[in-house]
Chains A and B, each alone.
Chain A
Amino acid sequence: MRAIADLDDHEGSVSLNGVEQKNITAHEWRQRVALLSAETCWWLDTVGEHFQQFSEEDAGLLGFKNNVANWQVSRLSSGEKQRLGLLRLLENEPDVLLLDEPTANLDYKNTLEFEKFVTKYVDERPACAIWVSHDIDQLKRISQQQYEIKNGNLYSEQAEV
Chain B
Amino acid sequence: MFIKLTTFDLSLAAVLVVLLGVLSAYMKLGISRQLYVAAIRTTIQLLLIGLVLKTIFETTQPIFIMLVCMVMISVAGWEILSRQKRKLKGWWGFGVSTGSLFVSSFLITLLCLFTVIQADPWYHPQYAVPLLGMLLGNTMTGIALGMDRLTQTAWQQRPVIEQRLMLGESSDQAISDIRSDAMRAGMIPIINSMAAAGLVSLPGMMTGQILAGAEPVEAVKYQILIMFMISAGTGFGVISVLWLISKRLFDDRERLCFKRLLKQSAD
Interface positions of A (Cβ within 8 A of B): 5-9, 22, 25-28, 30-31, 34-37, 39-41, 43, 88-89, 92
Q: With an 8 A cutoff between CB atoms, is B105 at the interface?
A: no
List the B residue with the shortest CB-CB distance to A6: B253
The interface bits of chain B over 137-167 (1 if a CB of A lies within 8 angstroms of the residue's CB, else 0) are: 0000000000000000000010110111111
Q: Are A92 and B167 in contact (CB under 8 A)?
A: yes
A7-B162, A7-B165 given. 17 additional CB < 8 A pairs?
A8-B255, A22-B253, A25-B170, A26-B165, A26-B254, A27-B169, A27-B171, A30-B166, A34-B167, A37-B166, A39-B159, A41-B160, A43-B163, A43-B164, A89-B166, A92-B167, A92-B168
Q: Are A30 and B168 in contact (CB under 8 A)?
A: yes
Q: Are B160 and A43 in contact (CB under 8 A)?
A: yes
Q: Are A35 and B255 in contact (CB under 8 A)?
A: no
Q: Which of B167-199 contact A (CB under 8 A)?
A: 167-171, 173, 177
B251 cross-chain contacts in A, Cβ below 8 A: 9
Q: Are B253 and A26 in contact (CB under 8 A)?
A: yes
Given contacts A43-B157, A43-B160, contact A9 B166 (CB under 8 A): no
Given contacts A8-B255, A26-B254, A26-B255, contact A88 B167 (CB under 8 A): yes
In the complex, number of A-B residue pairs with CB atoms less than 8 Å apart: 55
Nearest Cβ distance between residue B30 and chain A, in whole angstroms? Answer: 29
List the B residue with the shortest CB-CB distance to A30: B168
Q: Are B254 and A25 in contact (CB under 8 A)?
A: yes
B164 cross-chain contacts in A, Cβ below 8 A: 43
Q: Are B165 and A30 in contact (CB under 8 A)?
A: yes
**10 A-B pairs (CB sep. < 8 Å):** A7-B165, A26-B253, A26-B254, A28-B168, A31-B168, A41-B163, A43-B157, A43-B177, A88-B167, A89-B166
